[in-house]
Amino acid sequence: MTKSEKVTFVINTLNELYPEIPIPLDHKDPYTLLIAVLLSAQCTDVRVNQITPLLFAKADNPYDMVKMSVEEIKEIIRPCGLSPMKSKGIHGLSEILIEKHNGQVPQSFEALEALPAVGHKTASVVMSQAFGVPAFPVDTHIHRLMYRWGLTNGKNVQQTEKDAKRIFPEECWNELHLQIIWYGREYSPARGWNLEKDIITRTIGRKSVINEIKK
């Protein structure tokens, strides 16, 4: 298969498997999505979805969030890990949203990445899922699968994002990054991987990866 044929195969297979694409993190607006994505760093989406209702019951907007202390936020979000850094980030970005953005989540990568504890991946998720702006946030699932499929060299997530944006049509990005995440969880996990169930890797996968799993 040529690379363009591989890309077409990936898109068509994922569209068949996931015609409806659920958003992994529960939220009701751009602010609650931003907080949920921030909490998801080095934490499972399942755990985040268990914790955010507790946090949002007290504060689901920046004005209520700044009324809480960093310590109060930290106690609620502790199960998500990295709570000292995340609680400071949540409180700090809420203050900035009020001071600089009229309490609204800004709709630009530059403004989002200027917020405390908000990196490029978090900004990409918010731009994509909250505002519909084409973006390709790369998490561990996407990074792993793009390498397994021979579509990137796997050096780092920045390179994987560049390669994904180069080879996949822009109009597919917002749906495709979610489809790849779901596929990675269901069919091509890091552990307990069954190549027979993983039709995409089985069909177009990097030879060295397939040979290694078959040993």
Distance CA 10, CA 199 (A): 10
Q: Which residues are catalytic?
A: 121, 139
Angle, helices 83-101 vs 30-39, to 10°: value is: 160
Name the token pair of 45.
């989406």
User: Cα separations (Å) of 12 from 40, 121, 176?
Assistant: 29, 25, 10
Say which residues have a Cβ less than 8 Å from residue 164's Cβ, sequence separation at least 6: 136, 138, 142, 146, 151, 152, 173, 177
Distance CA 52, CA 5 (A): 41
Q: Report the candidate in 149, 211, 192 with the shortest Cα–Cα distance to residue 14.
A: 149
- Cβ proximity of 177 and 171 under 8 Å: no
Name the token pair of 44.
């499972």
The three-state secondary structure class of 102 is coil
